[in-house]
Amino acid sequence: MREFVETLYDSYGQLFRVDEMLFEDKTGHQHLVIFHNAAFGRVLVLDGIVQTTERDEFIYHEMLAHVPILAHGNARDVLIVGGGDGAMLREVSRHRSVERIIQVEIDDRVLDLCRRFLPRHSAGAFDDSRVTVLIDDGLHFLQTTERRFDVIISDSTDPIGPGEALFSREFYAACHARLNSGGVLVTQNGVAFMQPEELATAARRLAAVFDDWHFYAAAIPTYVGGIMTFGWATDDAGLRHIGLAPLDERFIASGIETRYYNPEVHRAAFALPRHVLRTIGKQHNESRP
């Protein structure tokens, strides 16, 4: 029997039984493994780090897609950076009001192999006529495109290897430059308890670029070690404090069926515990009544 031990942290990690090895190879950018585990279904691993599993991916993808799109309320142009497994595209494309979706992924092999081995992640979203997929580095794309977006979602790997560029100040500045007025950037920002330095660095860099920034949170079992934080950055401070009534109205109007997201969870996700506030250099949650 084979086992997979995640190598994200030196002295702590998670172990999966590999019930069936489906694919293992180097892609040119990363070492990619897809296996089946009885508890979590199919699991995608890049460079020894768990990216997504069939069983718990809905938490992560619903929270990174629906929170910014529903807070914005009129998102027509959405950019996904990374997200090669296709599940972010699946969630974003559920919003019928979104007119154009661009996905910029650095590694075409992740796209191809996930369509083949993790078809439930994209669930046909790549065939949506509103979608354009580009193979490029997210930072390079943002620094060279003339397009603008209402919502940018950074669905990146951790800040190791090709994902490092997506946590740089240059990346945040390029996102800021390509957002329409009232636009919002959200980012995958790691597990706060286990990766406090990455969180503190991201907070400083976002604060240097955006008028309003914060983090919101969700616990995702296979991102082990507690709550994952998602970066939130915009020049429109009102977006973060949107009331329950407009969110309810937008969520119902969207007709989207979710398993994790709802407007109450949306608002509550911005309430961070004190150790996380301390890490990001804030005294309180800045919530409004």
Residues noted as catalytic? 155
- First-to-last alpha carbon distance for the chain, in angstroms, is 54
Q: Does 155 bind ligand SAM (CB under 6 A)?
A: yes
Residue 202's contacts (CB-CB under 8 Å, 6 or more residues apart) are: 167, 187, 189, 231
Report the candidate in 238, 229, 240, 209 with the shortest Cα–Cα distance to residue 280. 229
d(CA 127, CA 118): 15
The answer to the question of residue 187 lying near ligand SAM (CB under 6 A) is no
Among 166, 174, 199, 202, binds ligand SAM (CB under 6 A): 166
Output the smallest distance, CB 73 to ligand SAM, in A.
Answer: 25
- How many angstroms from the chain centroid is the CA of residue 42? 19
Return the range that interacts with ligand SAM (CB under 6 A); candidates 4-12, 16-24, 132-140, 201-209. 132-140
**Residue 85 touching ligand SAM (CB under 6 A):** yes
How many residues in the shown chain lie near ligand SAM by CB under 6 A? 24
223: left (phi over 0), alpha (psi -120 to 50) or beta: beta
CB of 178 to ligand SAM, least distance (A): 14
Residues 65, 81, 174, 256: which binds ligand SAM (CB under 6 A)?
A: 81
Stretch that binds ligand SAM, among 103-111, 118-126, 246-254, 268-276 (CB under 6 A): 103-111
59 vs 69 by CB, closer to ligand SAM: 59
Pairing mode of beta strands 227-234, 179-191: antiparallel
Residues 124 and 155: beta-carbon distance below 8 Å: no
| CB nearer to ligand SAM: pick between 31 and 282 | 31
Q: Is 156 in the site for ligand SAM (CB under 6 A)?
A: yes
Rounded Cα–Cα distance for residues 100 and 68 (Å): 16
Q: Which two tokens stand for residue 235?
A: 């020049």
Q: Is 209 in the site for ligand SAM (CB under 6 A)?
A: no
Judged by CB under 6 A, does residue 163 bind ligand SAM?
yes
Q: Does 106 bind ligand SAM (CB under 6 A)?
A: yes
Question: Could you say whether residue 165 binds ligand SAM (CB under 6 A)?
Answer: yes
Distance CA 227, CA 237 (A): 24
Provide the token pair at 209: 């670029």
Q: Does 231 bind ligand SAM (CB under 6 A)?
A: no
Q: Which stretch binds ligand SAM (CB under 6 A): 5-13, 106-114, 211-219, 232-240?
A: 106-114
Q: Taking a C-beta distance cutoff of 8 angstroms, is the pair 52, 87 a contact?
A: yes
Output the smallest distance, CB 190 to ligand SAM, in A.
Answer: 8
**Which residues, 6 or more positions from 7, have their beta carbon under 8 angstroms from its beta carbon?**
13, 48, 49
Q: Does 110 bind ligand SAM (CB under 6 A)?
A: yes
Options 71-79, 162-170, 172-180, 265-273: segment touching ligand SAM (CB under 6 A):
162-170
- Per CB under 6 A, 159 contacts ligand SAM: no
Tally of CA atoms within 13 A in the half-sphere of 34 that contains its CB: 19
Q: Under the rule (CB under 6 A), what is the footprint of ligand SAM?
A: 51-52, 60, 81-85, 104-107, 110, 137-139, 155-157, 162-163, 165-166, 188
